[in-house]
Amino acid sequence: MWSLHFGPTLFNLYVCSILQIRLTEAQLQKTTQEDMKPEQLEKLTKLEGWHKELQLLEDKKAEMAAS
């Protein structure tokens, strides 16, 4: 459960990050890497960074819940 101290801005960022990752993964599953458009290839390279960003948000959430 989200703490009120986490704040609506961080909560929105967290939710948007999850949605962005899920949508991108769903789009990328539909095509092979050879058939991807340049925009899709760019999203593929950004996906790892989005996962790291999401992990940082989850760590921050855990820190705030512990305090």
| pLDDT reading at 3 higher than 70 | no
Q: 3-state DSSP call for residue 49?
A: helix
What per-residue confidence (pLDDT) applies to 1? 44
> Residue 33 belongs to what domain range?
4-66
Kindly state the helix (H) or strand (E) to which residue 51 belongs, with its residue range.
helix 38-66
Domain total of the chain: 1
Whether the Cβ atoms of residue 11 and residue 66 lie closer than 8 Å to each other: no
pLDDT, tens only, 19-41: 999 998 998 888 888 888 898 88
